[in-house]
Structure 1
Amino acid sequence: MIQLVVSVLLYFVIFFGIAFILNMLLRSTWLMSFLYPVIAIIIIDGISTFDYLTNTSESFQVLGDRLASLQVADYIIMGSGLAGTIVSGITIRILRKSGYRMF
């Protein structure tokens, strides 16, 4: 249980920070929120991204099997990363609205 809480906090903070920095540098508020599912798939599937182009059907079948075999705790942890990217976008919007011009 302690590992779950630490993992949730860690994923939230890591993806909040990455998204915040990307939002400042690229000035696109929701980019990381849209890229997060791709990053999550890369973390989960364990196969080469190039295989999605060469062995498409087999790669998606492996991805489906991996997604089906995840536990509830894994979904909670990955969801906290997505929440971190969303909160980062909201934070950037509030800061920009308040007059802070980042980069």
Structure 2
Amino acid sequence: MQMTIFVLPISMLLFFVLFFGIGFILNMLLRMSWIMAVIYPIVTIRIIDKVRFIEYFTDTKAAFSSLWTEITSLAVADVLILSSGMAGAIVAGIVIRLLRKRGYQMF
């Protein structure tokens, strides 16, 4: 399915807001400023790759080879959308740190 020029910015915004929100809530509850920035690559790999998670430990070479093939075959739009999700996770960590620095105590 081709992505139109209107769908791309909306998808990027949705991924940014989605992972900003999830990251903000996780950072607030767990008191770890960068938890979503650490978890996001794992989420991205689960989105991209079709290999079961256990196969990264049982058949490492084939699993990572498949992952590399999937990553290199991503379209530019997919990379932009996934990158905006990572940006949302990073911005959530920055916002939480700034709020804590300015005296806001969350939970």
TM-score (norm 1): 0.95
Q: What residue identity is the alignment partner of 2:32?
A: S
Query: CA-atom RMSD, angstroms?
Result: 0.8
- The count of aligned residue pairs is 103
Equivalent residue number for residue 29 of structure 1: 33
Q: What residue identity is the alignment partner of 2:60?
A: T
Query: If each structure's helix is expressed as a fraction of its own residues, which one has the higher value?
Result: 1
Give the percent of matched residue pairs that are identical in Structure 1 and Structure 2: 52
Equivalent residue number for residue 69 of structure 1: 73
SS, match of residue 62 in structure 1: helix
TM-score (norm 2): 0.92
| 1:27 CA drift (Å) | 0.3
Residues 16-95 of structure 1 correspond to what in structure 2 (within 5 A)?
16-95=20-99
Q: Which runs of 4+ in 1 moved over 4 A?
A: none
Equivalent residue number for residue 15 of structure 1: 19
Q: Which runs of 5+ in 1 are unaligned?
A: none
2-structure distance, mates of 1:63, 1:90: 30
